[in-house]
Structure 1
């Protein structure tokens, strides 16, 4: 079984990185007399972030645990260009090696040779590679953070996409967009609602720098961003000159004066301000940021893409269209998969207490507390202790009955459970209990 992963693909966006890795894997397999019968990829997916979804890796682990490909061929190992493509976190190392060594006589192949994953030496090598990967991640993160800080104290603009209101050079004002910001700040200070300002921008045909339509949230962030008055911020805080304590001024042209910007910011509660949003920004509000919906963050899109792969995007909660489904979970990546919110929550509860494997199933005491009124936060912690995530298959158009089998779990430390394993109908009689993808030796060894 071949696996390839890249962390970024934002320049060419053509998947050339994983394509090159797969070619190297083919060469490595050929040099050691092996035949690749299935390949999994995660293009533009980080392995360092705790909650980053990697559907290709999840399917690889599931296939190794099952032992067979979808067409009935036995798996005898994995080929990859390096260990750090497979994992950069201890839990992923544990998942991978537990699945790889779940059957005897399996091997791991990379450009340096064929290795025995059951040996103590190879396990030590894998642990050392993990330590090196984690150290590299920390060093790279600190280097990038220092680079951004150094640019910020010099008043350089942000290195991301072009900010609304400025030209591509990020220094010169965009005449139309800057005028819109200036008027919006004045209207807001005068008491106008942000939604009304956003509607006006939409009626004028205004779009963001990424092509999206304005809404109240984006208009608020644009108006309250320190850059509109020429101030420079970093990680959610204004940068101050150590000599004078005055804010660092950017090299770009400001849209409004600092006094106008402060007056506009004063009309919002702290939780809405640009400076208090984002993962790195400090929160100055007592409002909870925990998800309000039970299944938020646990659902992944199972829709098939035109290239044959799986979307794997997160399903986000949104307002529903009926009394039976007052809210729903929908994929914002491919927009081809959604599921009723109450249906998904009910399916999760069934999975936890009826279908979960015995070693991860919650206790009877937990089940009773769940039914007697456990808080949403406690329920989500219970779910997180049982499932890594759930893959949601797209529904059938015109079918109005609830189908709980659309939600397929990936249990903690195991692969995804098929309907056959859950005791459902439609079991496929694979020869020898064969299941999902992998690779094998070109010349079978008889194992």
Structure 2
């Protein structure tokens, strides 16, 4: 927060008092009426049940807190299993709450005069989110912030300082927890403890004992590859035998490559995409599991692939190290569209809509949600709607006249168009279509503007 931010909040506080915030709010609320507030809840993880119970529990606590302090909840927003410390993490519930605070009303027209939450770190763990939240909450006079400790004045110097202290505590906690988890994983790895997560192909569920059938397949694949056989040919052989991965997928050339070049097949332990070396000797750390082949055979099969294809360059948690970068997006809406379908717990899915092959000439490509599979939209129509939203914003000087003319004349390339969209919109929430309704509805796209 800058000094200018403090000054603006002080001015809003003074403005709130001079407009008679004690007698009535912006919506005409009389003295003694409950203060209408929105409720927000968030959990970083949803646990094994995946039913959003953590968000439901927080919302119940918010209801009790609101009643105890003379408030009434008029709308509830939640994000289940969403981290607030990761940059770029989609939080649809938070975005909708910001929109309600900024406009002063919920989607169904209820007035909003504040927000209730169980703790500050449920709302923000990054300075950017604190800035968005504070600006939205104080965009009108007479607003309140309510938590189990009581009612806070968001316009006052002390109210702002308390928010900043909460942010600093959240950032410190995030750093300490991240360091603690990283050290814990490193210590386990040095002792040769197997990776957690899905069992590796070739081993039983204990991740130590060899799977009799899969281990033989891996050993044979290594010998075939050293003899010159293509990874795709090995994958086809496995498919003909009915072999599937440990998560049910069909094998392909890439998965075969990852399996037969992983250090675990010769007993070596990797960590964060690097071969782990014992600090005392500098030798590779040996895992506690049974190896499939010797280290010499592992090095021999790794030598048959280009460096960018090896497990140590493309394995779990490791960046891809190839000479060519990741392919650039081929469509305007890629990365900007989010799924607006409701999950069973009532929360918005929020998953990214990915471009897929379409089924007609009018729609050669479509955007579909890979998280829930319940939202899909015609690619050309979605891109057209995105362009329309962009230039609706342009009337408010969001885009320069030169950029608008170059876009419409066809002189602007896709990459520059995407940068232009990113300068105006954070993302767009896409609501699922209505079955049997063939007319195009532009309101399916709900923009979140910068």
Common fold by TM > 0.5:
yes
Q: How far, CA to CA, are the matches of 1:115 and 1:244 in structure 2?
A: 58
Rate the CA distance shift 1:62–1:124 in 2: closer, same or farther, 3 A: same
Residue of structure 2 aligned with 1:87, choices 124, 128, 133 = 124
RMSD: 2.5
Residue 209 of structure 1 is matched in structure 2 by 246
Once the 2 structures are TM-superposed, how far is the Cα of residue 249 of structure 1 from its aligned partner? 1.5
Alignment match, 1:63: 100
Higher relative contact order (CA 8 A, sep 6+): 1
Tell me, yes or no, if the aligned pair for 2:356 and 2:366 is still in contact at 8 Å: yes
SS of 1:356 mapped into structure 2:
helix
Is 368-377 or 302-311 further displaced after alignment? 368-377
Are 1:187 and 2:230 counterparts? no
Quote the Cα distance in structure 2 between the aligned partners of 1:308 and 1:29: 21
Deviations 1:206-258 (A, max 9, x none): 33333334343333322222212211111111112345443221111112222
> For 2:260 and 2:417, how far apart are their aligned partners in 1?
38
CA distance in 2, matches of 1:30, 1:399: 43
The alpha-carbon distance between structure 1 residues 158 and 198, as it changes in their structure 2 partners (threshold 3 A), is same
Distance 1:126 1:290 in 2: 41
> When the two structures are superposed, what TM-score results if normalisation uses the length of structure 1?
0.84
- Distance verdict in 2 for CA 1:337–1:220, change over 3 Å: farther
Counterpart in 1 of 2:350?
A: 312
Selected match of 2:258 from 194, 218, 221: 221
Task: State how 1:226-305 maps to structure 2 within 5 Å.
Answer: 226-277=263-314, 280-289=317-326, 291-293=328-330, 294-305=332-343
- Residue 28 of structure 1 corresponds to which residue in structure 2? 65
Tell which deviates more after alignment, 78-87 or 230-239: 230-239
Paired residues, what number? Answer: 411
Out of 276-285 and 118-127, give the one that drifted further. 276-285
Counterpart Cα distance in 2 of 1:220 and 1:404: 45
Contact 2:333 / 2:386 at 8 angstroms: preserved in 1?
A: yes
Deviation at 1:350, TM superposition (A): 2.7
> Any stretches of 5+ residues in structure 2 without a counterpart?
1-37
Indicate how the Cα distance of structure 1 residues 278 and 330 shifts in structure 2: closer, same or farther if over 3 A, else same: farther
Choose which of 419, 427, 433 in structure 2 pairs with 1:395. Answer: 433
In structure 2, do the counterparts of structure 1 residues 325 and 286 end up closer, same or farther at CA, with 3 Å as the change threshold? farther
Using the TM superposition, give the Cα deviation of residue 70 of structure 1 relative to its aligned residue in structure 2, in angstroms. Answer: 3.5
**Separation of aligned partners in 2, 1:77 and 1:355:** 29
Between the aligned partners of 2:321 and 2:384, the Cα distance in structure 1 is 35
Secondary structure at the counterpart of residue 446 of structure 2: strand
Q: Which residue is equivalent to 1:130?
A: 167
Match of 2:74, SS state, is coil
Partner Cα separation in structure 2 for residue 127 and residue 357 of structure 1:
34
User: Residues 83 and 89 of structure 2 are in contact (CA less than 8 Å); yes or no, is this contact kept in structure 1?
Assistant: yes
Q: Which runs of 4+ in 1 moved over 6 A?
A: none
Residue 203 of structure 1 and its aligned partner are, at CA, apart by 4.1
Name which of structure 1's ranges 195-204 and 131-140 shifts more when overlaid on structure 2.
195-204
1 CA distance for matches of 2:394 and 2:101?
18
Counterpart CA distance in 2 for 1:364 and 1:213 is: 51
Question: Counterparts of 1:401 and 1:219 in 2: how far apart (Å)?
Answer: 46
